[in-house]
């Protein structure tokens, strides 16, 4: 095997590991989002941001962060809090609630950055499988939406 083939194989394995980590993170964030109980238009907004980032990649981070700010503003105005964590209610310990909401926001920003990079990694995986890379945005969108659905199902039916 040539040095170029070894490098491509290594990149392909790293891309698979990256996409697996992105999938697990998406399941976790969808579980946490479901715990907050957003209305249907909150889920619609999240899905629109995911579809946009999967198709545009890193160039769409600014608009995706605007969507995230709108979602977090809605959560703050509604004083949203997961019912499973009733120990820290927004009305009882406002400082701790605000800090934890900020941690969720920072985690979501990091996830958006990871999702922006996911397009490059999905192209690498498709290239290693011999498939056209034009399928990368649609494949990544389906991949992330299924992970989000899995996180929602985990929250609503098992945990």
What would the 3-class secondary structure string for the chain be? CCHHHHHHHHHHHHHHHHHHHHHHHHHHHHHHHHHHCCCHHHHHHHHHHHHHHHHHHHHHHHHHHHHHHHHHHHHHHCCCCCHHHCCCCCCCCHHHHHHHHHHHHHHHHHHHHHHHHHHHHHHHHHHHHCCCHHHHHHHHHHHHHHHHHHHHHHHHHHC
Distance CA 28, CA 154 (A): 9
Query: pLDDT category, 85, cuts 50, 70, 90?
Result: low
Q: What is the mean pLDDT of residues 98-115?
A: 88
The pLDDT, as a whole number, for residue 4 is 65
Q: What is the pLDDT of residues 28-48, one digit of tens each?
A: 999 988 888 888 888 888 888
Q: What is the mean pLDDT of residues 36-62?
A: 87
Query: pLDDT category, 119, cuts 50, 70, 90?
Result: confident
Q: What is the mean pLDDT of residues 104-121?
A: 89
């Amino acid at each position: 095997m040539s040095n170029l083939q070894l490098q491509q194989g290594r990149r392909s394995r790293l891309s698979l590991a990256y996409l697996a980590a992105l999938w697990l993170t998406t399941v976790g964030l969808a579980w946490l989002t479901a715990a907050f109980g957003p209305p249907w238009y909150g889920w619609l907004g999240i899905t629109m941001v995911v579809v946009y980032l999967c198709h545009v990649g890193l160039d769409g981070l600014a608009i995706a962060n605007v969507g995230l700010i709108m979602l977090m503003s809605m959560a703050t105005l509604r004083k949203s809090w997961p019912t499973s964590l009733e120990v820290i209610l927004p009305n009882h310990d406002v400082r701790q609630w605000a800090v934890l909401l900020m941690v969720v926001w920072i985690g979501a920003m990091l996830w958006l950055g990871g999702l922006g990079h996911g397009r490059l990694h999905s192209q690498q995986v498709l290239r290693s499988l011999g498939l056209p890379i034009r399928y990368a945005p649609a494949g990544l969108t389906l991949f992330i939406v299924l992970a989000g659905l899995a996180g929602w199902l985990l929250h609503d039916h098992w945990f």
